[in-house]
Amino acid sequence: MVNTLNQPIAGSSRPLLPWLLILVGLGAVYLPTFYDLFHGAWSTEKNAQGPIVMGVAFYFLFYRVKQLQELGQLERAPSPVIGSLMLVFSLLCYAVGRSQSVLLLEVGSLVGVLSGVVVTFYGVRTWSRMWFAFFFMLFMIPLPVSVVDAVTLPLKIGVSYATEHLLYWAGYPISRSGVILNIGQYQLLVADACAGLNSLFVLEALGLLYMNLVRHSSVVRNVVLATLIVPISFTANTIRIIFLALITYYFGDAAGQGFVHGFSGMVLFLSALLLIIVVDGVISRMVRDKPLREMQLAKSAVSSGTGKLKAWVATASIAGKPALLMMLAMLLSVGAARALTPVMDLAKAIAPLATTVPSQFGEWTEIKSAIVQANLTASEDGKKSIEQPYDDVLTRTYADKAGNRIMLALAYAREQRQDVKIHLPEVCYPAQGYEILVLKQAPLSVLQSGRTLPGKRLLTTGGGRTEAVSYWVRIGDAYPIGGLATRLKIFKDGIAGNVTDGMLVRASSLITDPKDADAEYVVQDRFLSDLLLAMKSDRKVLIAENP
């Protein structure tokens, strides 16, 4: 492949105009996305690393381009076919992701779009020499909540377990229930942001960035270090929780949840970076590096000021027509996203659950109870968000003449999107320190017609109590089981132009012996059947109109 770094290019008298066209297209596509991120996912503690990763990724891309220029490796071997295919595919992903609120596609498409631009004008080989900058951008994408929830719980339990045993061995009065730590008179909940997948994700990014900047030539050394980044990240998370637990123990709850809690994030990254450097130093004593070939290359291609100017003009100059077509394609994707965006049916408004759900029906009567139900959401301010996606919530306790007590929890959301949707009990219960003993799919016998509803049964324990739970989730006119099925249902309705609503119906009971769970599930089915019968026409908010 020929290096055309210093070759003049036709139309280079206005080298910045084509780039300005591309920047206009990128701005039209992604400025609204980044605005939403800064006011949405990136504004939460879970994804606060996004802007930092984005800034580092773009700076590293600039640094790498400059480095390749100096080494004479910024070749000009355009691959317009491959680049155009990458660009078109990425813009399609953007249109679908933007319209259906799939951040993985919407934000991730930026990597493909930028890669397509580079490959179109510079070729695959040049792209391969700056691939890490594009790879690093992936770490700024907010992960799907279902993936985070599935992976975060074991991580939180592991970090909680390690913290408990380390502090116990050090002589501190500490105990653990799930992900809740009790140290002295204080109680700490190990939250997702403290020890979840997001923190592990960004620590992995930190380790990979360190590896790329250091640029060891030894494959063995790189592989070993990359493998050890995961346990290093786990250790750093444990250090953070220990730090917070000790601050709380010695200085009180206010200190542990105030400025120090935010500062502990810095402790997390500093300890992770220190561990990476220490481990890398140990590995260096066992594996020797050879000098990288590109570091030995002469920089004579741009040694003089005139040569640098010519190199910059030659590198910056791109053809105007392809740039114009790229801008038009980007603007078209914005229009496609707008056309595919589903519209909410304002007629879906329902009466408040507190008025439509009767306080007395059949043999059941609402009673006052001191027992606190498991929260339907982790939100503290009650505002609608990823943590609190509901428009109306109702929790009550009912009893019948035989003394059976059922706790009812209803949560309704008019708008179901990929990033804001109903939380499943098997996620909410463990997040609040409960341990799930049994989780199974089960047909719920709650319809007068004799048909069953697809649902689930849970048996949980925590906080000194054992709870049997039955629930179903209605998304539009379907009852999807599990996070993936829910996502697919929302996506299908969204592509059809509809904003799907959703309802969680949960009935639970306290039991003394897990062996009594099956008998309690029968009582719960009877309770839910009586409730649906009593609500008559209003029951369509709980179940599909033609179940």
pLDDT of residue 117: 93
CA dist list (Å): 199 to 43, 140, 209: 15, 12, 15
Q: Which residues of 138-154 are buried (b: 16+ CB within 10 A; e: fewer)?
A: bbbbbbbbbebbebbbe
This prediction has a pTM of 0.71
Tokens of 354: 């507190």
| Residue of 338, 345, 418, 329 whose CA lies nearest to 99 | 338
> pLDDT value at position 53?
81
Q: What is the pLDDT of residue 466?
A: 92
- Going by C-beta distance under 8 Å and a sequence separation of 6 or more, which residues neighbour residue 88? 116, 329
Q: Give the pLDDT means over successive 10-residue stretches in the chain (547 positions).
A: 40 69 94 90 74 84 83 83 94 93 91 94 90 86 71 75 90 82 81 57 72 69 76 80 84 64 61 76 70 45 43 59 92 93 68 90 89 66 54 91 92 79 81 84 87 91 88 90 84 84 92 91 94 87 74
pLDDT at 238: 84
Return the closest-CA partner of residue 159 out of 122, 128, 188.
188
Asked about 240 being catalytic, the answer comes back as: yes
With H, G, I as helix, E, B as strand and everything else as coil, classify residue 162.
helix
Reduce the secondary structure of 59-91 to three states and give it as a string. HHHHHHHHHHHHHCCCCCCCCHHHHHHHHHHHH
pLDDT at 150: 65
Active-site pick, 76, 98, 240, 396: 240
93, 194, 396, 474: which is the annotated catalytic residue? Answer: 194
**Cβ(457)–Cβ(520) below 8 Å:** no
| Domain extent listing, the chain | 16-142+291-340, 145-284, 346-541
- Judged by phi (left if over 0) then psi (alpha if -120 to 50, else beta), residue 184 lies in left
Distance CA 486, CA 130 (A): 38
DSSP codes of every residue in 399-410? E-TT--EEEEEE
Q: How remote is the C-alpha of 315 from its chain's centroid?
A: 37
- Residue type, position 19, single letter: W
> Can 125 be counted among the known catalytic residues?
no
Q: H helices within 252-358, ranges in order?
A: 253-257, 259-284, 305-316, 320-340, 353-356
Strand partners, 360: 365
